[in-house]
Chains A and B, each alone.
Chain A
Amino acid sequence: MARAQSVRRRTVTTILAWLIGFLIFFPILWTIITSFKTELEAFSTPPKFLFFEWTTENYAIVQERSNYLRFVSNSLILSIGSTIVALLFAIPAAWAMAFAPTKRTKDLLMWMLSTKMMPPVGALIPVYLIFRDMGLLDSRGGLIAVLFLLNLPIVVWMLYTYFKEIPGEILEAARMDGASLWNELVYVLAPMAVPGIASTLLLNIILAWNEAFWTLNLTTSAAAPLTAFIASYSSPEGLFWAKLSAASTMAIAPILVLGWFAQKQLVRGLTFGAVK
């Protein structure tokens, strides 16, 4: 009896999980399907799911109309650049907070996180004016700075929780074993910290890649990443759904591939180091 029940239970939870997974994935699936329709079919009611004439013309048109590779390279530069800068600042910060905490470390962490609670639009006008006056509008450097600052609290938090997991006794053992600070870093700390740093890096690249608010508001063309590439196909007039879908598919494809290969690391990253 008990066995039958547990099998039934497993079946139900499995079906439920797939259902929820499908629900979450559906908009993306629909985007991909729509990208292979003609504009007319993309607009038809009732919507067509699989039975329509598949076409790749949208991709051809999008390729022709805009320089996809430039947007990709901007996206890569912005997401990787801002992530590396963020890590450069966050690793020492998280390190100090995890291994040499003071009375106010927790408050400091909370304060950092609290900056994420403010709607970004609240800071848009001052940031925009600063960018305008400093000539940073539509520049990669400026956007890297914004994305780096935007994600820095999350990066510090993630690294902090990872570093917290490294038991202090292991470092002390290394010290007893006669390791110098450098050897302690290279042989003991780095191997234990690298997985955490890697998942933080991956997650932050994805966050920066998908960031749309600042990238859309602070760029026009030269520094515009893929978010701007998608947005350029959204128009109040005319039939652009299929092309918009094609552009979206092209924009998410690289990050989807990265996510697929890094899923194990990412799950760990998303649980904020809670799972050991």
Chain B
Amino acid sequence: MGTIVLKDVQKSFGDVTIIPNANLAIENGEFVVFVGPSGCGKSTLLRLIAGLEDVTSGKIIIDGSNAAQLPPAKRGLSMVFQSYALYPHMSVRNNIAFGLKMAGMPKAEIDAKVAKAAQILNLSDYLDRKPRQLSGGQRQRVAIGRAIVRQPKAFLFDEPLSNLDAALRVQMRIEIMQLHQSLGATMIYVTHDQVEAMTMADRIVVLNKGNIEQVGSPLELYNKPVTLFVAGFIGSPKMNFISGEVAANHKVHTIGVRPEHITLSGTSGEWEGTIALAEHLGADTFLHVDTARCGRLTVRAAGEYGQGPGDKIWLTPERGRVHRFDDKGKTIPNAA
């Protein structure tokens, strides 16, 4: 089992409050991603759950009992660190076995468990190597191996892929998702990369300045962001925000339109503009268009788009895909 409930969790360092008041319930077996810009408190929140930081007040309830005052080892959680944090002087085998050894498990049992974990993670041939003799991806696997042998109530990942190159990151992302499927264990995953959040999560927790802005499935956040911050953070390229006269026409402070929800036309449309820059990605083209009424907007065109910088173009937001926000950045639900 692995349910984790945060109740009025607060964390301050001296006078500085990092987490003002966090409430969250994580179900058993869920893959939850904490996402937000750097400094938003997502790592702190994870470390509070792990017990590596003490809560200033509030409860952290793991499997029904308050663990807020327990040391990390007593919480039954495993953690994978950004730097992998492998023990440099131990072989891969001993790195993976360390937690079991600390738990006083008999040696034969440890060997069996290590062998099984190594097999799952494709590390069987590297068990006698030292961490420094491994590639980045292999080190990452050892760190995961160290986490899975202990059969924890939940796994905590602190930006585990940020030290890997782009190709490996995609591969490890898939491996972690497969691991989640086969183990069925609760996983909490911290990242600043919204693509990782969108692709991996059952539920995403968006954090901003220590506050939980919104909790929801990836598509909920994409389609129904409750604040301007979430709208801007989820989705790539970023949502266009327009205020002023155009927004006033919608009777709100700010409107938002995603680049993929704007139709392009060479002849007519709602907003007239000039293409300033075109980014060609093959499958898509991102156009940066200077408009008189809305400033610079980003627009996604499917496939290879014929027109380039300097060309005139008309933009029209798709009906029902315009997000509206009040002057405090809160979403005003569409009437329809």
Q: Which of A169, A183, A191 gathers the greatest number of chain B CB atoms within 10 Å?
A: A169
Determine chain B's interface SS by DSSP, over half rule.
loop
Chain B residues, CB < 8 A from A179: 73, 98, 102
Contacting residues of chain B (27-85) with chain A, CB-CB under 8 angstroms: 50, 52, 71-73, 77-79, 81-83, 85
Report how many residues on chain B are interfacial, defined by Cβ distance under 8 Å: 22
The residue that B73 contacts in the complex, of A167, A169, A177, with Cβ under 8 A, is A177
Q: Which of B77, B83, B98, B150 gathers the greatest number of chain A CB atoms within 10 Å?
A: B98
Q: Which of A169, A177, A179, A191 gathers the greatest number of chain B CB atoms within 10 Å?
A: A177
Q: Which of A169, A173, A174, A180 gathers the greatest number of chain B CB atoms within 10 Å?
A: A173
Chain B residues, CB < 8 A from A172: 52, 72, 79, 81, 85
Is A191 within 8 A of B81, CB to CB?
no
Determine chain A's interface SS by DSSP, over half rule.
helix
Report how many residues on chain A are interfacial, defined by Cβ distance under 8 Å: 17
Is B87 within 8 A of A170, CB to CB?
yes
The residue that B87 contacts in the complex, of A174, A175, A180, with Cβ under 8 A, is A174
Is B85 within 8 A of A191, CB to CB?
no
Q: If A169-B83, A172-B81, A192-B88 touch, does A178 touch B50 (CB 8 Å cutoff)?
A: no
Interface membership of A187, Cβ < 8 A? yes
Closest to B102 in A: A178
Q: Which of B71, B86, B102, B146 gathers the greatest number of chain A CB atoms within 10 Å?
A: B102
Is A177 within 8 A of B150, CB to CB?
yes
Total number of residue pairs linking A and B with CB closer than 8 Å: 58
Chain B residues, CB < 8 A from A91: none
Docked Cα-Cα span, A179 to B99, in Å, equals 7
Chain B residues, CB < 8 A from A188: 87
Is A177 within 8 A of B99, CB to CB?
yes
Chain B residues, CB < 8 A from A183: 102
Q: If A172-B52, A191-B89, A192-B88 touch, does A177 touch B81 (CB 8 Å cutoff)?
A: no
Q: Which residues of B contact A (CB under 8 A)?
A: 50, 52, 71-73, 77-79, 81-83, 85-89, 98-99, 102-103, 146, 150
Pick 8 A–B contacts, CB within 8 A, sort by A. A169-B83, A169-B85, A177-B98, A177-B99, A178-B73, A180-B73, A187-B87, A192-B89
